[in-house]
Amino acid sequence: MHRRGVGAGAIAKKKLAEAKYKERGTVLAEDQLAQMSKQLDMFKTNLEEFASKHKQEIRKNPEFRVQFQDMCATIGVDPLACVSHCARPEMTFRLPALWSRLTLFFSRSYPGKGFWSEMLGVGDFYYELGVQIIEVCLALKHRNGGLITLEELHQQVLKGRGKFAQDVSQDDLIRAIKKLKALGTGFGIIPVGGTYLIQSVPAELNMDHTVVLQLAEKNGYVTVSEIKASLKWETERARQVLEHLLKEGLAWLDLQAPGEAHYWLPALFTDLYSQEITAEEAREALP
């Protein structure tokens, strides 16, 4: 690919291309690029104005946040877009001279964040929430093995936020957790019943495990017979799944239950929701 460089040949070639396209009524890409640059500046101003009026609303109002996120998604914009979304430069940029020009260009014109984050603080909101989610999950891990319902997580996070507790919704938590997956420590979102289980440990949970968790959601526990009846599995398959959950600390075995053994999911114990995180648990959580 040629550089648009000096030389009569290059200039003539460009003039020819321009003429060809203008003839056909097509706008050249570089003209559109210039237009985009101008529009971008204008948009930045509009966004600044919007931010000066409504930045607080985004931070304080969960409903407005959802509207904002949904609108962004509809038009094809990610307000939390990061550098990782940026493509590799074209293959022809292998020349070292170009590489240094490239990095210089980025440092000049490239802030590392999108406008939305920069001016509306959308990023800060979700990344801070991420910190709070991690801390709650760490503190409660020894109780539930690293599996927690979205409800309990929500309640505990709200408690941690104190006075301004009403400003975080479950939608917010889900979005923050999706971002946390990048950290590699096994954050996962498992749909069960009408809600979700949030996994915060790198335990391997495949489809079989997930579907048993979903079955357990009703009563907080599950038995081998129940699995065989509902899912039509063989005994061995049911046992393997339950053993795995036990080993990972996600399930507790109750051999004294009436009838057969009950496998309890501490994550699903509703009466643990209101229990405060103890000082010792908090110590375990905070680095």
Q: Give, as ranges, the residues between 24 and 53 that touch other proteins (CB under 8 A).
A: 26, 28-33, 35-37, 39-40, 42-44, 46-47, 50, 52-53
Q: Is 4 in the site for other proteins (CB under 8 A)?
A: yes
Q: Is 124 in the site for other proteins (CB under 8 A)?
A: yes
d(CA 197, CA 213): 9
Q: Is 86 in the site for other proteins (CB under 8 A)?
A: yes
Q: Is 224 in the site for other proteins (CB under 8 A)?
A: no
Q: How far is the CB of 17 from other proteins (least distance, A)?
A: 6
Q: How many CB atoms lie within 10 A of CB 272?
A: 15
Residues in binding contact with other proteins, number by CB under 8 A: 101
The encoded tokens of residue 7 equal: 């030389």
Q: Which range touches other proteins (CB under 8 A), out of 23-31, 191-199, 219-227, 268-276? A: 23-31
According to DSSP, the β-strands at 262-264 and 252-254 are antiparallel
Q: Is 123 in the site for other proteins (CB under 8 A)?
A: yes
Tell me which of 6, 8, 23, 88 binds other proteins, using CB under 8 A.
Answer: 88
Enumerate residues 163-222 that contact other proteins by CB under 8 A: 179-186, 201-202
Q: Is 142 in the site for other proteins (CB under 8 A)?
A: yes
H or E stretch at 262: strand 262-264
Q: Is 235 in the site for other proteins (CB under 8 A)?
A: no
Do the beta carbons of residue 201 and residue 186 sit within 8 Å? yes
Tell me which of 224, 231, 253, 272 binds other proteins, using CB under 8 A.
Answer: 253
The encoded tokens of residue 264 equal: 């309890």
Which residues, at least 6 apart from 188, have a Cβ–Cβ distance to it below 8 Å? 181, 198, 199, 205
Q: Is 71 in the site for other proteins (CB under 8 A)?
A: yes
Tell me which of 247, 274, 275, 278 binds other proteins, using CB under 8 A.
Answer: 247
Taking alpha carbons only, the member of 183, 138, 139, 174 closest to residue 154 is 174
User: Residue 34: is it exposed, middle or buried by C-beta count within 10 angstroms (0-12/13-18/19+)?
Assistant: exposed
